A and B are shown apart, each in its own frame.
Chain A
Amino acid sequence: MSAVLSPGQIEVGEPAGVTGLRLAVRRFRRNRLAVVGLGVVVLFVLFCFVGPVLYPTDQTHTALHAVNLPPSAAHLLGTDAVGHDELGRLMYGGKVSLLVGLAAGALATVIGMAWGAVAGYAGGWTDSVMMRVVDAGIAIPALFVLLVVSAILSPGIWGMIAILGCVSWLVPSRLIRAETLTLKNRDYVLTLRAIGGTHARAITRHVLPNSVSTIVVATTFQIADAIMLVAYVSYLGLGIRPPATDWGGMLSAGLTAAYSGRWWLIVPPGVAVILVVCAFNAIGDGLRDAFDVRGRA
C-alpha cells in the first residue's frame, strides 16, 4: 500500500479491526452501574415474560378461600385481597409495566425524532412554528394531560401506550432538532444537496443515522419516564383497569393493606418500579458514554 500512498505514506488512519461497535461495548462495560442496570432489566424481562411459565398462577379468577395470606411455601409472596398469588401478580403486572414503558418510550422517541428532524432541517419559520408548538406542549404538565385523558377515555394497554407516547415526545424532539442543526451543515449533507440529492434522502440517509446515539440514549430515558408515569396514573386509579394490572395498580390496591401490616402487597411492586426505573436510567448513562464519539475522529 505504501507504494500507492508515497510520498504521503506517513499518513495513517485509525487501526482497522477495532470497530466502533466493539469500542462502544468496551466503553459501556466500563460504566459499572450501567452494566448492573442492564443486568437488572434483563432479569426483570425474564422474570415477567418467562417467569409465568415456570411459576404458573391464576390471575383471572378470584380465590376467596385464600385472601391476604402472608408469604409461605405455597405462595412465596403471599396473596392479595382477592386471593391472587402476589409473586405471580408481580410478573403479570410487570409485563404490562414493561410493555407500556418500552412501547411508549419508543413511540415518544419516534414522534419526537420525526418532528425534531423536520423542524431542524427545514429551519426558518417552519422551525419556529414547530418549536413553539413544543414549547407550548412542555408548558402543560404531562401528568396533568395524562390524568385528564385517562379519566375521560379509560384506556386499555394500547390506549395507554398511545397517550403516553403523545405526551412525552416533546423533550426528545428538542434533542433531535439540536442534533439535526449541526448535522445538516456537515459537508457530506452539503455535498449531497449540491449534486442534486433530495431533502428526504438527506434526512433519512444522513441526519437520522448520525443522530442514532442521541436517539437511543433518549429512548432509554423515555422508557424510564414512561414506566414511572404509568405507575403514577395507575396508582391514582386511572390507569390499567382490573382484572389487568401493573405495578402502579398493585401499589394502589395494596395501599390500604399496608396499614394492616400486609407489607408483601406493597414492598415488592414498589421495589420493582424503583429498580427498573433506576436501571433504565443507568443504561442511558452508560450508552451516553459508549456513544460519546467525540474522543474518536
Chain B
Amino acid sequence: MSAKGGPEVGAPILDVTDLGVTFGTDTGDVAAVRGVSLAVRPGETLALVGESGSGKSTVALAAMGLLPGNARASGSATIAGTEVVGASDGTLAGLRGRTVSMVFQEPATALDPLTRIGSQVAEVIRNHRRVSAADARREAVELLRRVGIPDPERRASAYPFQLSGGQRQRVVIAMAIANEPALLIADEPTTALDVTVQAEILDLLRRLAAESGTGVLLVTHNMGVVADFADRVAVMLRGEIVETGDVEKVLLRPGHEYTRRLLGAVPRLVVDEPDPAHPNGSAAVGTEPVVDLRGVSVVFGRGRRAVRALDDVSIAVHPGETVGLVGESGSGKSTAARVALGLVAPSAGTVSLFGTDLRRARSRARRALRAGIGVVLQDPVASLDARMSVAQCVAEPLLIHRRGLSARERRDRVADALERVRLPRALADRAPRELSGGQRQRVSLARALVLEPRLLVADEPTSALDVSVQKTVLDVITDLQGELGFACLFVSHDLAVVQQFAQRVVVLRNGRIEEQGSTGSTLRRPETDYTRRLLAAVPVPDPVLQRQRRADRLAASAGPSA
C-alpha cells in the first residue's frame, strides 16, 4: 500500500463535479447537497465526514445512482468514466456490483434472511459474470475465506441469523468485492458494530483495498475511523465541502473553523500520558450508596432457552459520584441500568434504592422512592411522546409525584427546568418533532431533573447524537451535577466519553463484571486482558498516533497465537 498522504497517480475512479441534490418534500424543496466536487483515485481511501444532515450519505447514494424517487441530482458524477447522474437503469445495473459496490451500515438488513450466505455471494458473482453455478459457489467460499469467515466451506450454508454482526458485515463485504470492483463505497460500515469488531472490519477493508488497488469512498462521522483508515478527508457541512486534504493535515492541522470545532468536540481517549492525579478524585466512600446492586443475576426466558443477562453483579453508586458502565453490546450494561431503575426484576440478589430494599417495599412506597430517580434514555426520538408538547413532557413527573401543585406552579417549575438545561422557555409550547436531537435529549434531561432527583440514570444518552451536540449535552449534565449534586449511573459503549465523564468505571462482559475501579486507573492501566483489548480497539482521531496503536494492537494479537 502506498504511504499515507501519497495518492497514486492515475485517473480518478470516482470523479464528482459540482454535484447538487435536492429533495422534494411535503414542506417544500430541500437542497441536501450543493456544488460538491471530489475524486477518488485507485488504491486511495477518501473519507467523507460530517455530522448528521450534512449530506455525506446523499453524496454516496448519488454516486451509486441510488437516490430515492423524490430527489433530483444535478452536476456530474462519473465512475470509471461512465456518467451516473441521469444514467439509465441499464447502465447503472451494469456498473453496480461490477465496477462499484457498496457496504451499508446495518449488516442485519443488508442480507436476505432466508438465503444461505454462500448463495447470496454466488448470486452477485453470477449477476455479472458467466460462470457455472458450481464455479460461483466455489468462488463464493473463496471470498468468504478472504474476508476472514472461519471454516468457509461449512459456513457458506449458514443463514445470516446464525452469524454475529461482525461476521455478517464480513459477508456483506465479500459480496461487495465479489467482482473485484474498482470502487468501494462504504457508508458508516462499522457504526453498528462494537469497537473490537470495528477494528477487525477496518483491518479487513484496509487489507482488501491494498491487495487489489480498490478506491474507497468512506462515509463516516467517526474521526477515529477516519484516522485509522483514510488517506484523504473531505469535510462536509450543510451540503457543502468545507475542507479537503490529506488525513494528517485535516485531522492535525485543520484549516477550516468548522473542522477545528468538530475535532475539538470529539472526546479523546487519554492513553499515552502518565496518570496525573485524576481531578475527579474518589467518591464519598463511607456514605450510604444511593443505589446498591448486590449479587444481582437476571435471567431472561425459561428452561433451555434461558439467557443469563447478568451474573452475580454488584454495583454501588454513592451520592454525588458518577459511575460509568461500559461493555460491548450484549454485555448486560443496559440490563444493569434497568435493574437499578426497577424495570427489570432480578432473578437473584438484592437492589436497594436510597437504602430501601426494593423488594421489601410496598408498591406505593416503591413508587414514591422513584421520585428520587431521573432517567435519560438513548433514543432522542422515542424518549419524548410525539403527541405532547415539550412542557407536558417535562411536567409529567410533577403530575405523578407532586399532585398538589397548581397549574401555575407547575408551569414555573417546567420553565426553571428548561432553563437549567439551557433551553429557551419559548420551546415549552413546541412539539418534540420540531426540535433537533440534541434539544430533545436536553428536554429529556429537564424532565429527569424537574424533581431534583438524587440519582440520574443515563443509558447511552448521547450515542445517537453528533459529537458537537454530544459535548453540549455532556457539559450540561456535568454542570448540573455540580449544582444539584445528584449521583449518576452512566451507561455507554464509548470509553472516551466515560473516561471524561465518570469517576468510577465498571467494565461488563457477558453479564459479568470484568473489572471495576476509578476511571483514572482502570482505563489507563487495565488489569484484565479484555479491558486492554477494548481500549486498544478504540480508534483515536490522530492518524500518527492511531497508526502506532494499530501496529501495537496487531502485534499484541499476533503475539499470543504465534
Contacts and interface: CB of A to CB of B under 8 A. Distances in A.
A192 interface: yes
B401 interface: yes
A7 B423 contact: no
Nearest to B426: A1
A196 B371 contact: yes
Contacts of B367: 196, 198
A18 B431 CA distance: 11
Interface residues of B, number: 58
A20 B448 CA distance: 27
A74 interface: no
Contacts of A243: none
Interface stretch (B7-15, B192-200, B373-381, B538-546): B373-381
A15 B385 contact: no
B329 interface: no
Given A4-B424, A13-B434, A191 B26 contact: no
Contacts of B384: 188
B261 interface: yes
B355 interface: no
Interface string A280-293: 00000000000001
Contacts of B370: 194-196
B147 to A, nearest CB: 34
Interface string A174-200: 000000000000111011111111100
A23 interface: yes
A277 to B, nearest CB: 31
A11 B436 contact: yes
Interface stretch (B170-178, B317-325, B467-475): B467-475
B439 A13 contact: yes
A296 interface: yes
Contact of B379 (A23, A187, A205): A187
B58 to A, nearest CB: 16
A285 to B, nearest CB: 18
Contacts of A191: 375, 377, 383, 444, 447-448
A192 B435 CA distance: 21
Contacts of A190: 343, 375, 377
B387 A196 contact: no
Contacts of B377: 187, 190-191
Contact of B466 (A8, A18, A23): A8
B26 A10 contact: no
B397 interface: yes
B371 A20 contact: no
Given A187-B379, A190-B377, A194-B373, A7 B468 contact: yes
Given A11-B439, A11-B466, A187-B382, A196 B401 contact: yes
A73 interface: no
Given A4-B422, A8-B472, A190-B343, A195 B437 contact: no
- Of listed B368, B385, B433, residue having the most chain A CB within 10 A: B385
B411 interface: no
A152 interface: no
Contacts of A206: 385
B457 interface: yes
Given A27-B26, A194-B373, A187 B383 contact: yes
B106 interface: no
Contact of B387 (A4, A5, A210): A210
Contact of B433 (A193, A195, A212, A296): A296
Given A14-B434, A196-B367, A196-B401, A8 B387 contact: no
B243 to A, nearest CB: 15
B237 interface: yes
B383 A4 contact: no
A32 interface: no
Interface string B336-372: 0000011100000000000000000000001111110
Interface in A178-237: 186-188, 190-198, 201, 205-206, 209-210, 212
A11 B471 CA distance: 13
A12 interface: yes
A297 interface: yes
Contacts of A11: 436-439, 466, 469
A198 B457 CA distance: 19
B354 to A, nearest CB: 13
B457 A194 contact: yes
Nearest to B262: A7
B27 A15 contact: yes
Given A1-B424, A7-B471, A188-B383, A195 B434 contact: no
Given A1-B424, A8-B438, A196-B367, A20 B433 contact: yes
B431 A23 contact: no
A1 to B, nearest CB: 6
20 contacts: A4-B424, A10-B468, A11-B438, A13-B433, A14-B434, A18-B26, A18-B27, A19-B431, A26-B26, A187-B382, A187-B383, A190-B343, A190-B375, A194-B343, A196-B368, A196-B371, A196-B400, A201-B400, A205-B396, A297-B386
Given A5-B438, A191-B375, 5 more contacts: A5-B439, A8-B468, A191-B383, A195-B400, A201-B400
Interface of A: 1, 4-5, 7-8, 10-16, 18-20, 23, 26-27, 186-188, 190-198, 201, 205-206, 209-210, 212, 293, 295-297
